[in-house]
Amino acid sequence: MNDISQAFAKAIQLITQLDANLLEIVSLSMRVSLTSVLIASLIGLPLGAALALYKFPGRGFFVVLLNAFMGLPPVVVGLIVYLMLSRSGPLGVLGLLFTPTAMIIAQTCLITPIIAALARQTIMDANVEYHEQLRALGAKSFRIMKTLLWETKYSLLTSVFAGFGRATAEVGAVLIVGGNINHATRVMTTAIALETRKGDIELALALGIILIVISLILTTIVMNIRDAAYKYYN
Amino acid sequence: MHNVSTLPLHINHLHVTRKGNLLLCDIDYSIDTAGVTVILGPNGAGKSLLLQVAHGLVAPDEGDLKWNTLSPHPQQSWRAFVFQKPVLLRRSVRANLGYVLSLHKVEKSKHHELIEEALEQTGLAKLAERNARVLSGGEQQRLSIARAWVLKPKVILLDEPTAELDPAGTAAVECLIETIAQQDTKILMTTHDLGQARRLASDILFLHQGRLVEFSPAQNFFQQPQTEAAQKFIAGKLLNGGQKK
């Protein structure tokens, strides 16, 4: 018990002293996850909206696939991206394996389906209310899609944060394609896994605390934005 | 803004069938009068459906409907449609009007003037920066009419525009409809409210069970209805049956 409280005290100390090693890991984590979320949103939001609004053959199958991909195991995504990027893989010439870029690719693959599937549901619900009106106003289908994406921006923000939560929390994909290399591809989750095994509980705990705090802050921001939007509109 | 002639409205042997039910049956008529034409009839008579066909929202199964020589489709900016329950965008009153202008590719330089004019006309100038979603029902419907009016259309179609409003809201909307009709915009609207038809209509299309039962200038219709259905309806008696199977 004493060990744990000591470790906890040291972890707090690492955080308050802004330990260089700690900061490096946290900032790489943020860089990788934020970039992934940005790319996944740019793909996932229009994709989800298009799946909600456009009818084409095979749409049903595509939607099932998308929803199934929401729960993709990170290690499997990591493995597939690893195979693509490894020296003998189709994208091997790019030499991206074990770089932050590879981690961004893996996380983007992981969370694009999440953002797209949630966006699809949001846009579908909004479309029930808006469709007839927008059509009567003279909007064509692409314009309807753009309008609905804008009208539901606060709900979509929640989908984006769900993606971000998933990205920061996963270990498997970034571990496989990043390799957890010190000063290069070590992020919070992979560092926690490693340091715990090494017995360096302080650093692991400090990183764990930061992860939880980040998620608390984000949740608070999202809830506040939604509340403010709700009050504004109702 | 619009260099088209829209009248007369020709309706040629129009039929609309949904799921095996004949909802509009052989409507055949031409409207060439300006002013307010009211499509009157009990619920389920096919009034809204006829209006939707006139805006190109529903395609007829047989026959056709033409504004002079033009087949309607919703992207024509010389005609606007106002719903019973408007869906407004989650943005300011002003931005709701701007949206329609940019939708129809009206030059940016003209936006300000057109919006101000529509706000003034509809008495919404003071609410211009307010969020559209927090307006009262009557204000929302006035904005919805402003959204139609901002494009300076030659025709405005209104589907039961006051059905969800209180008397004050209804009065404001009716006043607005009269003003618009006086400015050379053709109004075609549905209602099941006899009093409203008496107040607004210059002529009446009376629909019952999907058929055009009677059409005449408003005064004639109310003083000497020709058909039994119209006589009953004016007398305030219940007409049996909704949609004809």
> Which contiguous run of DSSP H or E holds residue B50?
helix B47-54
- Angle (CA) B164-B131-B116 rounded to 5° is 95
The parent domain of residue A99 ranges over: 23-200
Q: Which has more pLDDT, A50 or B32?
A: A50
Low pLDDT (below 50) residues in chain B: 242-245
Q: Is B100 on the interface with A (CB under 8 A)?
A: yes
User: Which pLDDT belongs to residue A225?
Assistant: 85
- In a domain? residue B124: no
CB A7: neighbour CB atoms within 10 A?
Answer: 17
The encoded tokens of residue B95 equal 């931005």
Facing residue for A233 by CB, picked from B80, B86, B90? B90
- In a domain? residue B97: no
User: Which pLDDT belongs to residue B87?
Assistant: 94
User: Which pLDDT belongs to residue B1?
Assistant: 66
Residue A2, pLDDT > 70, answer: no
- In a domain? residue A4: no
Burial status of residue B134 (CB atoms within 10 A of its CB: 0-12, 13-18, 19 or more): middle
> Whose CA is closest to B30, among B79, B56, B61, B67?
B67
Q: What is the CATH number of the domain that holds B75?
A: 3.40.50.300
Q: How many domains does chain B have?
A: 1
User: Which pLDDT belongs to residue B164?
Assistant: 87
User: Which pLDDT belongs to residue B227?
Assistant: 83
Which positions in chain A touch B80 (Cβ < 8 Å)? 137
Which chain A residue has the Cα nearest residue B103? A139
Q: Beta strand pairing status for B186-191 and B36-40?
A: parallel
User: Which pLDDT belongs to residue A32?
Assistant: 95
User: Which pLDDT belongs to residue A1?
Assistant: 53
Q: What is the CATH number of the domain that holds A58?
A: 1.10.3720.10
What is the mean pLDDT of the segment spanning A5-17?
85
- In a domain? residue A219: no
Q: Which residues contact A17 (CB under 8 A, 6 or more apart)?
A: none
Rounded percentage of chain A residues whose pLDDT exceeds 70? 99
CB contact under 8 A, A139 and B77: no
> Whose CA is closest to A100, among A157, A37, A179?
A179
CB contact under 8 A, B74 and A138: yes
User: Which pLDDT belongs to residue A117?
Assistant: 95
How close is the nearest chain A Cα to the Cα of B81, in Å? 6
Facing residue for A233 by CB, picked from B80, B103, B131? B131
User: Which pLDDT belongs to residue B188?
Assistant: 93
Separation between Cα atoms, residue A157 and residue A7, nearest integer Å: 37
ipTM over 0.95: no
- In a domain? residue A117: yes
Q: Is A135 on the interface with B (CB under 8 A)?
A: yes
Distance of CA B71 to the CA centre of its chain: 17
- In a domain? residue B94: no
> Which contiguous run of DSSP H or E holds residue A174?
helix A172-178
- In a domain? residue B132: no
Residues 38-97 of B with CB under 8 A from A: 55, 57, 74-77, 80-81, 83, 86-87, 89-90
User: Which pLDDT belongs to residue B38?
Assistant: 93
- In a domain? residue B181: yes
Q: Is A87 on the interface with B (CB under 8 A)?
A: no
Which positions in chain A touch B2 (Cβ < 8 Å)? none
Separation between Cα atoms, residue A39 and residue A115, nearest integer Å: 11
- In a domain? residue A227: no
The encoded tokens of residue A10 equal 């040291």
User: Which pLDDT belongs to residue A231?
Assistant: 78
User: Which pLDDT belongs to residue A176?
Assistant: 94
- Dump pLDDT digits (tens) for A60-110: 999 999 999 998 899 999 999 999 999 888 998 898 999 999 999 999 999
CB contact under 8 A, A233 and B86: no
Q: How many domains does chain A have?
A: 1
- In a domain? residue A177: yes
| B161 upstream amide cis, omega within 30 of 0 | no
Which positions in chain A touch B90 (Cβ < 8 Å)? 151, 233
The encoded tokens of residue B162 equal 């006051």
- Local confidence band at A228 (pLDDT 50, 70, 90 cut-offs): confident
Q: Which residues contact B218 (CB under 8 A, 6 or more apart)?
A: B38, B197, B198, B201, B202, B203, B204
Least confident of A7-11, A26-30, A151-155, A164-168: A7-11
User: Which pLDDT belongs to residue A14?
Assistant: 84
Q: Which amino acid is at B114?
A: L
Q: Which amino acid is at B88?
A: L
Residues 107-146 of B with CB under 8 A from A: 131, 133-134
- In a domain? residue B114: no
CB contact under 8 A, A133 and B83: yes
- Angle (CA) B174-B112-B183 rounded to 5° is 35
Q: Which amino acid is at B166?
A: D
Which chain A residue has the Cα nearest residue B81? A136
The encoded tokens of residue A224 equal 């506040």
- In a domain? residue A196: yes
Separation between Cα atoms, residue A170 and residue A159, nearest integer Å: 17
- Angle (CA) B74-B75-B81 rounded to 5° is 45
